[in-house]
């Protein structure tokens, strides 16, 4: 195989939930070499790395332990790379409030390190950065009402939040991810870097170590299965659209294959209106699926929480033809199957740490 035809991929945060699923997919293609760059700071991710080493194509997998805050380590990892999926991040709003400087160093400065490594590599690699719906803030101008057990948008023909929505970062986490988001866009414009931003909603699926701050669907399911109490912040009517991680990976590959037209673009990504549910509704689904009664505790809503967020994915569909294929039930069943096979290794509540982005 000619060297020029080989895809040489770097995944920052690649031992995590999204990163390990992405690596598995890429290794299934015979012309792809995968380099994972991760500091392994999150509980449980070492098992994802061990699992990847048992998958077909593992002879094309390389692991580099490193931190995105270290520009030299990032530059070294990016040598000879043709694609970068930048997933490493500090992912929790609560952690960003406690340690805003650390949050900035990982999310904003870490992303700048990745962009500089890409710019100076001589390869002009494709770069995909996973941003977050939190860059849109609390969406105070979106009119909502209560319908049954969920909030609904009081707008005719509402299809979700478009990319034209005004930015309103609203937390140290929103600021750091928003700053990184804008740097990626500008590097594409100024340096002609083929870079794309995904502003992601809730991503869920197998290999997810969930907790209250990140990966809430998995956290709820694991808590129900282990009969642990679940805290609901606010009334539980908050709505999110939920996307199976495999559908996310489909979208990643779609923008890569359409990179000539997607370069420099921002895309909102989530399950859309057809895969949206409130916290209470997801808990009801989980209870029905598992047959487990839920031990629920209510407390005050968290500052800046969006009562309703659904991504309008029209732009991505138009640009690439991508559409999600998995249902909410598919997503829950996939997480449950993962739990059954690895429950002795899944942390009950992994502390937020340096990991790939999941809103």
Kindly report the average pLDDT of the chain as a whole number: 91
pLDDT bin (cut points 50, 70, 90) of residue 347 is low
Is-catalytic flag, 173?
A: yes
| Structural domain spans, the chain | 3-356
Between 80-89, 204-213, 325-334, the lowest mean confidence (pLDDT) is in 204-213
Distance, in Å, from the CA atom of 254 to the CA atom of 230, rounded to the nearest integer, reads: 37
Burial class (CB in 10 A: 0-12, 13-18, 19+), 163: middle
Quick one: which H or E segment has residue 341?
Answer: helix 328-342
Q: Which residue has the tokens 């709820």?
A: 220
Which of these, 203, 230, 201, 227, lies nearest to 215 by C-alpha position? 203
CA 125 to chain centre: 21
pLDDT score of 174 more than 80? yes
**Residue scoring higher pLDDT (105 or 45):** 105
pLDDT bin (cut points 50, 70, 90) of residue 341 is confident
At 22, is the secondary structure helix, strand, or coil? helix
Point out which residues pair with 184 in neighbouring strands: none
pLDDT score of 262 more than 90? yes
pLDDT on residue 346: 54
What topology does CATH give the domain 3-356? Rossmann fold (3.40.50)
Catalytic: which of 173, 183, 187, 309? Answer: 173
Query: Is the torsion defined by CA of 275, 279, 280, 283 positive or negative?
Result: positive
- What are the pLDDT digits (tens) for 13-42? 999 999 999 999 999 999 999 999 999 988
Report the chain's terminal Cα–Cα distance, integer Å.
39
Which of these, 206, 211, 278, 213, lies nearest to 242 by C-alpha position? 278
Percentage of residues in the chain having pLDDT higher than 70: 93
């Amino acid at each position: 195989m000619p060297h020029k035809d080989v895809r040489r991929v770097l995944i920052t945060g690649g031992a995590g939930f999204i990163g390990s699923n992405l690596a598995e997919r890429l290794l299934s293609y015979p012309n792809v070499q995968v380099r994972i760059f991760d500091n392994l700071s999150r509980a449980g991710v070492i098992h994802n790395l061990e699992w990847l080493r048992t998958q077909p194509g593992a002879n094309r997998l390389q692991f580099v332990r490193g931190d995105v805050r270290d520009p030299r380590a990032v530059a070294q990892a990016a040598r000879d790379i043709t694609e970068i999926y930048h997933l490493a991040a500090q992912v929790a709003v609560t952690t960003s409030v406690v340690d805003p400087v650390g949050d900035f160093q990982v999310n904003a400065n870490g992303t700048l390190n990745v962009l500089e490594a890409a710019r100076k590599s001589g390869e002009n690699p494709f770069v995909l950065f996973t941003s977050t719906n939190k860059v849109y803030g609390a969406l105070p101008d979106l009119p909502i009402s209560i319908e049954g057990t969920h909030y609904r948008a009081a707008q005719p023909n509402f299809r979700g939040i478009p990319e034209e929505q005004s930015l309103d970062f609203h937390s140290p986490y929103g600021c750091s991810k928003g700053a990184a988001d804008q740097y990626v866009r500008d590097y594409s414009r100024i340096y002609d870097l083929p870079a794309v931003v995904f502003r992601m909603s809730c991503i869920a699926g197998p290999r997810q170590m969930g907790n209250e701050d990140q990966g809430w669907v998995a956290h709820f399911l694991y808590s129900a299965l282990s009969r642990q109490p679940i805290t609901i912040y606010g009334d539980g009517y908050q709505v999110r659209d939920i996307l199976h991680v495999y559908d996310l990976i489909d979208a990643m590959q779609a923008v890569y294959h359409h990179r000539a037209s997607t370069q420099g673009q921002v895309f909102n990504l989530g399950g859309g209106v057809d895969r949206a549910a409130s916290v209470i509704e997801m808990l009801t689904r989980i209870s029905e699926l598992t047959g487990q009664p839920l031990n629920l505790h209510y407390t005050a809503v968290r500052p800046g929480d969006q009562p309703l967020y659904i991504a309008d994915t029209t732009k991505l569909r138009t640009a690439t033809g991508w559409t999600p294929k998995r249902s909410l039930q598919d997503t829950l069943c996939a997480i449950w199957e993962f739990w059954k096979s690895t429950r002795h290794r899944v942390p009950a509540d992994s502390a937020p740490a340096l990991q790939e982005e999941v809103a």
